[in-house]
């Protein structure tokens, strides 16, 4: 299939496909007349990339999954390098959740304090900002 058809089937743009090609994530095969040519395996690579990006992975983090598929494995996460990326992403998410939990706790404390002061008739004050 040509680039336009692949883009349509993958739900993306030809510009994005060219970018992936320039980054080495999508193979650049050409027909005799110079048109880019793609197969169902390329669609599978794109679906893997899109799924991972939907989960918050950046483009470079998708590389081990793509390479795993290109090596003929049944799934992009069938290789040790892909599992390492999963582990790193989980650590990153755990750290973000911890940070958000701390922010939520501080915000909750601020709300309780502000509501108590408002009930007491005191002038509300903002304690954020240092």
Domains and CATH numbers, the chain: 3-119 (1.10.1660.10)
Q: Report the distance separating Cα 93 and Cα 24, nearest Å.
A: 27
In this predicted model, what pLDDT tens digit does every residue of 37-90 receive, in sequence order? 999 999 999 999 999 999 999 999 999 999 999 999 999 999 999 999 999 999
Question: Which residues fall within 8 angstroms of residue 25, CB to CB, at 6 or more apart?
Answer: 45, 49, 59, 62, 63, 66
pTM (predicted TM-score): 0.78
């Amino acid at each position: 299939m040509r680039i336009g058809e692949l883009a349509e089937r993958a739900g993306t743009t030809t510009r994005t496909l060219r970018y992936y090609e320039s980054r080495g994530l999508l193979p650049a095969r050409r027909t005799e007349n110079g048109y880019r040519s793609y197969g169902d395996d390329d669609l599978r690579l794109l679906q893997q990339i899109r799924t991972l990006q939907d989960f918050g992975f950046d483009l470079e983090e998708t590389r081990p999954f793509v390479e795993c598929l290109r090596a003929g494995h049944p799934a992009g996460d069938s290789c040790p390098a892909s599992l390492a990326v999963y582990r790193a992403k989980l650590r990153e998410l755990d750290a973000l959740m911890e940070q958000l939990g701390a922010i939520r706790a501080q915000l909750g404390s601020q709300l309780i304090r502000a509501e108590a002061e408002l009930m007491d008739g005191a002038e509300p004050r903002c304690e954020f900002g240092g």
